[in-house]
Chains A and B, each alone.
Chain A
């Protein structure tokens, strides 16, 4: 797939636009004020099609994580092992973001606070955002 992630579907664009400005944003319904993720064509809670991208503060907590030790795609072989986590945000209830975490796996715990880092220097993948334990930012 040669398409850039930001162009796979029009309703995805807001996430990548926010990343360009070193921020996280998620779709939130103007009608019922509830977040949803992944992006849908209409709000899955109330069916409204009036959806805005709402920026969040960024700090979240670990819902779960895994240390990947096998390259399912050979392109990832030289980055093993790496951490993939599911991050929840207090100001975006209902959203869980899949993201890399740059940390010692032994230091992680469910519920632990993590903050986004937009520097290419800590990036593991190509998503534009990598999380680090809060306090290490």
Chain B
């Protein structure tokens, strides 16, 4: 019989590796409390009486990049894009799988094809079209995210829908449900686990996305990644203290989100590894 016995060598090794993994964030955290001129030269020193500046970097950074408005834009765009993606692509995936004909087949392959196209291929033309169609605002960019995120989402929903037995839907039809009722009352509840996975994958992508929002709405509306990049400014002029504090503030929401639904996130990301 095997007993659960922890090997002390491996355990210590894992502790050391964990410290290496956490260290970069801790170093940034420590530096976020130091005066801006004491950061670049001595990043590995703890703050002293002379270099400790309390929360000045945080108040400076929040003012400089309007952090709370960036946080609001990021949150607004992420939440509504993810909801939109889940709502629309689950319907479309069900339609494509259940209504087999040439059109739906073609649609399916187009969506799958879009998954392998790198963003650089469409970045210029997409941002021009968004501009012409007046989609260059926080509401309009949601349409872009639904369109660009639909490939992976439809692919993942379809994979699951194929495994749902047809009998359930047929029974619903016989009981007098029209397709809309069948979808919302019968199918949508069954899709919940896949929806969580698809939602998490899209949320992580949209929350961290830099280039797409920068090109589409970056002039007027700054999301968190755009605001952090903006702080970089011209050479020599950047405020290292503000940068450190803003890095910390942009990591905190992610860590809260991660710790509160860790199981779903890890499961979701692994399930999404098919994307490639």
Is chain B a partner of chain A in the same complex? Answer: no
Interface residues of chain A, those whose CB is within 8 Å of chain B, are none
